[in-house]
Structure 1
Amino acid sequence: MNDPTPRPTTNENHLLINAFTTHPQSPLLQVTRRVADSGCNMLDARLSTVGRDITLTALAVGSWDAIAKLESSLSRLEREDGLKLMWYRTGDKQVQTDLLPYIVEVVAADKPGITFQLADFFDRQGISIESLHCSRYRAMQTGADMYSAQVTIGVPARMHIAALRDDFLEFCDHLNLDAIMDPMKF
């Protein structure tokens, strides 16, 4: 008996993979080998060292059977090589053409809650955070604990940019954060 439902196309089958290992071992080679061997393609990947661990977030795309093969391969990889892995099927990101990309950079004396306060500010404005990288470091000259964040946001096109920038800078002044907000230029 034939199934009248057609199989999804290659672009409709996505697998989001998170892999974690302890530095200096990296999950990149092992995961990307499994993606390639299964007949899938890497659509997006991010690798970073956080604390003593290396994390890989990857989005693989392929036919339904290639994704199934990749899932089996990841299960074996987790059992045999001891990587910490999580994965699930997902979909393609919906394109939002009404969002303007902006870069926000923040530097301040480190104190608890800065990342939450930034996220809360943008959430209250209806602005999506597309990417975030924040870290703590010691200032070379003084040894003070410092906080740094680089945030990519999607500002709705209908929003008045000058008013948003004023509100954001006032918010930062209130928290004693040094910040800039500029349009993404690439």
Structure 2
Amino acid sequence: MKSTSGSARSGNDNQLLIHALTTSTRSPLLALARRIADAGCNLSESRVATIGTETSLMLLASGAWDALAKLETALGKLTRDESMRLVHYRTGPRENSSHLLPYLVEVVAADRPGIVARIVDFFSQHGISVEQLNSTRYHAMQTGAEMFQAQFTIGIPAEIHIAALRDDFLELCDGMNLDAIMDPVKF
């Protein structure tokens, strides 16, 4: 009985990360989801985004070793048949991040180079991981000025003093003339 649970666990540890990029008019989401299911794998995580004229998909498939091998073969055929860039490779399960506190950071500012780099550098210096990032440029409705907006989901180690971190971050943002907030993620 013990070996059965061990083999079930090792079956979940087999993962394939798939990244596909193609024109936004031809999203390969359905084709990839079908290949994953047909191979006997589960779609564990997914991210789909349209950026510019391209659609980017990041999919994490999990399953038995042989099911992933079958999926890898199917992906090779799909790459030859479709007009997309496709990269896939084996990976493992993510480390437990229960010691990280999820926070959402939102920033709005007049657009200029270097905003993301400065913010990521700040978090990096404090040992904070950026888990997700979405950013965009747009024109302000009233003035037409070029604006920048970003949302970061960060993982703050539990031992970091949140109030002091927030104060330091908001001081950085004030110095860069950014409007910003940092709040816990609400599920």
Matches within 5 A, 1:57-136: 57-136=58-137
Match of 1:30 in 2: 31
In structure 2, C-alpha distance between the alignment counterparts of 1:23 and 1:57, rounded to whole Å:
15
In 2, are the aligned partners of 1:8 and 1:63 still within 8 Å (CA)?
A: no
How far residue 185 of structure 1 moved from its aligned partner, in angstroms, is: 1.4
Give aligned-pair identity as a percent.
56
Q: Distance in 2 between matches of 1:122 and 1:27?
A: 34
DSSP 3-state at the match of 1:115: helix
What does 1:141-160 align with in structure 2 at a 5 Å threshold?
141-160=142-161
Q: In the alignment, which residue of structure 1 is the partner of 2:141?
A: 140
Q: What is the RMSD of the two structures over their aligned residues, measured on CA atoms?
A: 1.2
Q: Distance in 2 between matches of 1:119 and 1:170?
A: 15
Residue 9 of structure 1 aligns to a residue in which SS? helix
Distance in 2, matches of 1:133 and 1:158, equals 27
Q: Measure the CA separation in 2 of the matches of 1:9 and 1:141.
A: 56
**Aligned residues between the structures:** 181
Q: Which runs of 4+ in 1 moved over 3 A?
A: none
Q: Shift of residue 100 of structure 1?
A: 0.6
Alignment TM-score, normalising by the size of structure 2: 0.94
5+ long unaligned stretches in structure 1: 1-5
CA contact (8 A) 1:7 1:64 kept: no
Partner Cα distance (1:165, 1:182) in 2:
9
Alignment gaps of 5+ in structure 2: 1-6
The answer as to whether partners of 1:107 and 1:147 remain within 8 angstroms in 2 is yes
Higher helix share: 2
Q: Distance in 2 between matches of 1:175 and 1:7?
A: 51
